[in-house]
């Protein structure tokens, strides 16, 4: 009988799934009674195989693979490349190892009186619900002997373990997944149409913000959504519906992002009842002409910032494919620069327009 050590030896790997304690954010799932295991593959096309088909320049640079202690980066990369090559070169062997590791994790969770959960796309975006494989008879016998709530006739790993909760972030809004697979859509600097499609599919949207700048609300197409703090834990199935999952940017490259992937100025709602407005003028007579004038200036600045980000989102969406539309959007930026009283915003617009001239020259 081919045990897990035998299959791992044949594959030349130590394990596929990382333990919950390997990631501080995932470890926070324990306060929700979850014991979570994560599969990390080599992101992008690092292994020679593309595992993030909708990646953007911004998310590529800010990828979580490059976060963490740099002393372990080479060993981490080597291990993840080996796993990824195994997935593409010997799918059946890979998936049989994964099935046995999932089984072990389910039993480990039971022993701890916790619920088992799994993220199979820790650093990838693969449609595991579509990846068929053949379960070895020896593997099936081991699983059947150890746990009962399985569907070993299923052709994909998600349906094979219907009592286990799977979840991931994805940039593929058209995915149709089993009920035990929860997806959160990842917003990037160039996928506004995907965001709209995901919202129609009632998916939550993950948005990356700078450290200490996660807002309480965020606007998409003039609709305000509540922002929850996604770093309080990693277990996205527990999130309320129709919200923005605000994530803190990770890694040095991500913190230096200039693509628009990281939403550097939070897209706050406007109005004198904003929490920031209330705190700024706390203890003052908000009906006085002086304070009302200051509130009006702040709201005008926020309106201009919202306008700026809408134009930039549209500009990133059309790119070089629709030059006439891009020209019109740049004209809107120029108009905004003339109207705003914010020197910072004027400088930012000027930089964008100068860079666009260099790109088209």
In this predicted model, what pLDDT tens digit does every residue of 30-61 receive, in sequence order?
999 999 999 999 999 999 999 999 999 989 88
Which of helix, strand or coil describes residue 225? strand
Q: pLDDT band for position 305 (50/70/90)?
A: confident
Question: Is 235 a residue whose pLDDT tops 80?
Answer: yes
93, 10 contact by CB (below 8 A): yes
**Residues 322-332: b if buried by 16+ CB within 10 A, e if exposed:** eeeebeebbee
Q: pLDDT band for position 278 (50/70/90)?
A: very low
For 110-122, how does the pLDDT look when each residue is reduced to its tens digit (9 = 90+)?
999 999 999 999 9
**Percent of the chain having pLDDT more than 90?**
55
Strands 165-170 and 181-186: parallel
- Measured between alpha carbons, how far is 26 from 304 in angstroms, rounded to an integer? 37
Question: Is 318 a residue whose pLDDT tops 70?
Answer: no
E runs forming strands in the chain: 17-18, 34-39, 115-119, 165-170, 181-186, 205-209, 217-220, 223-229, 244-248
Q: Tell me the average pLDDT across 67-84.
A: 84
Helices then strands, counting H and E runs in the chain, come out as 13, 9
Q: Tell me the average pLDDT across 257-277.
A: 59
Torsion sign over Cα 131, 159, 80, 57:
positive
Q: pLDDT band for position 359 (50/70/90)?
A: low
- Measured between alpha carbons, how far is 190 from 316 in angstroms, rounded to an integer? 5
73, 145 contact by CB (below 8 A): no
- Measured between alpha carbons, how far is 154 from 187 in angstroms, rounded to an integer? 32
Contacts of 253 (CB under 8 A, 6+ apart): 61, 62, 66
Q: pLDDT band for position 360 (50/70/90)?
A: low
CA distances from 51 to 54, 190, 275, 296 (A): 9, 18, 41, 48
- Measured between alpha carbons, how far is 192 from 60 in angstroms, rounded to an integer? 17
Question: Is 277 a residue whose pLDDT tops 70?
Answer: no
Question: Is 280 a residue whose pLDDT tops 60?
Answer: no
Q: What angle do CA 97, 99, 100 make, to 5 degrees?
A: 65
> Which comes out higher in pLDDT, residue 42 or 283?
42
- Measured between alpha carbons, how far is 122 from 119 in angstroms, rounded to an integer? 6
pTM score above 0.85 = no
Question: Is 200 a residue whose pLDDT tops 70?
Answer: yes
Q: Tell me the average pLDDT across 95-103.
A: 98
- Measured between alpha carbons, how far is 1 from 95 in angstroms, rounded to an integer? 17
Say which range, 8-12, 175-179, 343-347, has the weakest mean pLDDT: 343-347
Query: What local confidence, expressed as pLDDT, does residue 332 receive?
Result: 86
Query: What local confidence, expressed as pLDDT, does residue 319 receive?
Result: 62
Q: Tell me the average pLDDT across 250-262.
A: 79
Query: What local confidence, expressed as pLDDT, does residue 295 receive?
Result: 64
Q: Tell me the average pLDDT across 328-347.
A: 84
Q: pLDDT band for position 232 (50/70/90)?
A: very high
Q: What angle do CA 246, 266, 43 make, to 5 degrees?
A: 45
For 124-159, how does the pLDDT look when each residue is reduced to its tens digit (9 = 90+)?
999 999 999 999 999 999 999 999 889 999 999 999
The neighbouring-strand residues paired with 209 are: 248
Strands 217-220 and 34-39: unpaired
Query: What local confidence, expressed as pLDDT, does residue 47 receive?
Result: 95
Q: pLDDT band for position 193 (50/70/90)?
A: very high
Query: What local confidence, expressed as pLDDT, does residue 279 receive?
Result: 44
Mean pLDDT rounded to a whole number for the chain: 86
> Which comes out higher in pLDDT, residue 98 or 213?
98
CA distances from 79 to 47, 75, 87, 119 (A): 11, 6, 13, 18
User: 260: phi > 0 → left, psi -120 to 50 → alpha, else beta; which?
Assistant: left
Tokens standing for 38?
A: 């994560």
- Measured between alpha carbons, how far is 91 from 102 in angstroms, rounded to an integer? 16
- Measured between alpha carbons, how far is 235 from 226 in angstroms, rounded to an integer? 18
């Amino acid at each position: 009988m081919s045990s897990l050590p035998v299959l791992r030896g044949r594959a030349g790997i130590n394990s596929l799934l990382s333990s919950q304690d390997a990631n501080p954010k995932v470890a926070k799932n324990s306060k929700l009674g979850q014991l979570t295991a994560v599969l990390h593959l080599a992101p992008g096309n690092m292994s020679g195989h593309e595992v993030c088909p909708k990646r953007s320049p911004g998310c590529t640079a800010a990828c979580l693979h490059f976060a963490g202690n740099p002393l372990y980066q080479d060993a981490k990369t080597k291990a993840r490349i080996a796993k990824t090559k195994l997935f593409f070169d010997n799918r059946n062997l890979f998936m049989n190892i994964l099935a046995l590791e999932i089984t072990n994790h389910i039993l480990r969770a039971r022993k701890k009186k916790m619920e088992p959960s799994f993220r199979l796309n820790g650093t990838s975006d693969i449609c595991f619900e579509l990846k068929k494989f053949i379960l070895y008879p020896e593997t099936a016998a081991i699983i059947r002997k150890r746990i009962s709530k399985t569907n070993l006739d299923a052709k994909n790993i998600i349906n094979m373990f219907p009592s286990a909760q799977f979840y991931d972030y994805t940039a593929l809004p058209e995915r149709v997944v089993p009920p035990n697979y929860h997806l959160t859509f990842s917003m990037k600097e160039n996928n506004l149409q995907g965001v709209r499609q995901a919202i129609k599919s009632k998916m939550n949207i993950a948005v990356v913000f700078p450290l200490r700048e996660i807002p309480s609300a965020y606007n998409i197409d003039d609709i305000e959504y509540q922002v929850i703090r996604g770093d309080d834990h990693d277990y996205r199935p527990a999130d309320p519906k129709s919200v923005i999952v605000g994530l803190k940017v990770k890694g040095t490259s991500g913190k230096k992002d200039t693509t628009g992937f990281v939403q550097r100025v939070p897209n706050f709602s406007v109005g004198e009842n904003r929490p920031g407005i209330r705190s700024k003028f706390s203890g003052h007579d908000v009906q006085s002409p002086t304070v009302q004038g200051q509130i009006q200036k702040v709201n005008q600045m926020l309106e201009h910032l919202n306008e700026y980000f809408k134009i930039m989102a549209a500009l990133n969406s059309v790119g070089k494919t629709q030059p006439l539309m891009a020209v019109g959007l740049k004209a809107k930026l120029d108009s905004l620069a003339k109207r705003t009283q914010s020197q910072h915003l004027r400088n930012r617009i000027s930089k964008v327009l100068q860079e666009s001239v260099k790109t088209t020259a």
